[in-house]
Amino acid sequence: TQLLEQSPQFLSIQEGENLTVYCNSSSVFSSLQWYRQEPGEGPVLLVTVVTGGEVKKLKRLTFQFGDARKDSSLHITAAQPGDTGLYLCAGPASGTYKYIFGTGTRLKVLA
């Protein structure tokens, strides 16, 4: 069974600090997605990583896909209150139309 574990589960930091969120699995994924979800809303896609070792940047957010395509990280530089939300990683389950979602990291950035 493919699983995605995220750490940390909760994170509360001050504005301006840097942070890294991790998404780990013992299984290989063909791609991984990162989403941010705000309360009462659906997850909004941030990025898709496909190639092992790939690094993508979205303003202050840097996403990396592990060389073996089993893990991914999200690094936020100089966090802002607008970064507050639930961060989810997800990947397609092999041979099915199912998606595997991580357990989520709930981030709160204090002004």
Binding residues for another protein (CB under 8 A) = 30-31, 33, 35, 40-45, 48, 88, 90, 92, 95-99, 101-104
Shortest Å distance, C-beta 63 to another protein = 13
SS (H, E, C) the chain: CCCCEEECCEEEEECCCCEEEEEECCCCCCCEEEEEECCCCCCEEEEEECCCCCEEEECCEEEEECCCCCEEEEEECCCCHHHCEEEEEEEECCCCCCEEECCCEEEEEEC
Q: How far is the CB of 78 from another protein (least distance, A)?
A: 27
Name the residue nearer to another protein (CB basis): 28 or 78. 28
Q: Which is nearer to another protein, 26 or 30 (CB)?
A: 30
Q: How far is the CB of 98 from another protein (least distance, A)?
A: 6
